[in-house]
Amino acid sequence: MKQRNETPSVRTSNSSKARPGFGAERPTRRVLEGHTRPCEDCGAVSWNFDVSRGEITCENCGLVAEENVPDPGAEWTNRDNGEDRSRVGRPMTYTLADKGLNTTIDVRDLNTGIASRHGMSSQARRDWRRRRVIDERSKTRKSRERNLVKANQFIRDRSGLPAPLQEEAARLYRRLSGEGFVTGRSIAGVTAACTYLVARQEELPRQIPALAEAFEITEKDLSRLIRQVSRRLNLHKITGPNEYFDKFLSDLGLEPSIRGPLDELWSTIEPHDDVWQGKKPMGVAAALIYKSANEVGTPRTQSEVCAVANVSEVTLRGLLRTIDGLLEKIRHYQSLQ
């Protein structure tokens, strides 16, 4: 008769019982960068990195020790729908003459203390500044490239548009330059016209006098260029008075509570396009805001409203009479029903 071998039971000490996760068999140790200590909940050292979720968790108890961990792998993109998905540098932009594809020497790396901390002498910094000037000149040898540099600088510094709209304005200018439209015309004038048309298309209209002052050209020249560019690019759009409400309310310092009565008044007048079409949308917006401000108890003077809308007080009073006449007819018609 064969004797059965029995495995003797293993008795654990009190110290091992006090630390959960440590038993008879030796626990596995799975460490990650920055996570080599035991888990705070169970004491195990078994960390797991979930790449898809960006989380580092304990394999024993599931405690999430870190979240939103950056992916250390390569970032793949495919902007050209080709086989090569590698990405080097930032994406192209129309706000730079070279679309941001060329390498540049940043002047901040030469003028700050970074250069000296890396062991660059003053003579070496002077040499690199000279190389930087030569590099910049080599990129703008052609007149068209110099033209684009100046135009993009105008758009960035004077348009007052958000970055995506600056990109669109620079794209329009580059298209006009490629078609030969800019030749013989003012760079500031064409960039101002592109800025005006882009803002109008996105329902963030800019006033012609304000743009003319910012780009240092005359209102007459800007109006003419806007007509020419809009015909060339087929960017015809009628600007409604409601597109000026937010800007005028902000400039007048009116409370947001006025927006409800103002929108209600505009919805009443909008169907009657024979009243407001053909008139300055800025003037109609000023008249509606003036009337709504008086109704809600936060009045503004006619001179204040006219200064913001850039219309005369005579124009404002004439529009107010027209609007009052229309409202009176509407009330009379409703009373008969």
Give how far Cα 323 sits from Cα of 27, 134, 261, 297, Å.
84, 63, 15, 19
Using alpha carbons only, how large is the chain's radius of gyration in Å?
Answer: 34
Q: Does residue 112 share a domain with residue 37?
A: no
* Closest listed residue to residue 223, CA positions, set 231, 212, 232, 233: 212
283 in a structural domain: yes
Whether 27 is in a domain gets the answer yes
Residue 269, pLDDT above cutoff 70: yes
Domain-located, residue 40: yes
Distance CA 85, CA 87 (A): 7
84 in a domain, yes or no?
Answer: no
The CATH number that applies at residue 217 is 1.10.472.10
- pLDDT surpasses 60 at 261: yes
The 8 Å CB, 24+ separation contacts for 33-40 are: 34/66, 35/65, 35/66, 39/63, 39/65
The burial class, CB within 10 Å (0-12 / 13-18 / 19+), for 183 is: exposed
CB atoms within 10 A of CB 185: 16
Name the average pLDDT for the chain.
80
92 occurs within a structural domain: no
- 78 inside domain: no
Among 66, 81, 99, residue at a domain's last position = 66
Q: Pairing between strand 64-66 and 45-50? A: unpaired
pLDDT confidence of residue 223: 92
Residue 57: give the domain boundaries. Answer: 14-66
pLDDT digits (tens, 9 = 90+) for 289-306: 999 998 888 889 999 999
Give domain status of residue 77, yes or no: no
Residue 68 zone, left/alpha/beta (φ > 0; ψ -120 to 50; rest): left
pLDDT tens for 195-224 read 999 998 888 888 888 899 999 999 999 999
d(CA 321, CA 307): 20
3-state secondary structure of 119: coil
How far separated are the first and last CA of the chain, in Å rounded? Answer: 114
pTM above 0.85, yes or no: no
Domain count, the chain: 4
Residues 170 and 122 in one domain: no
In a domain, 238, yes or no: no
Whole-number Å distance between alpha carbons of 51 and 90? 24
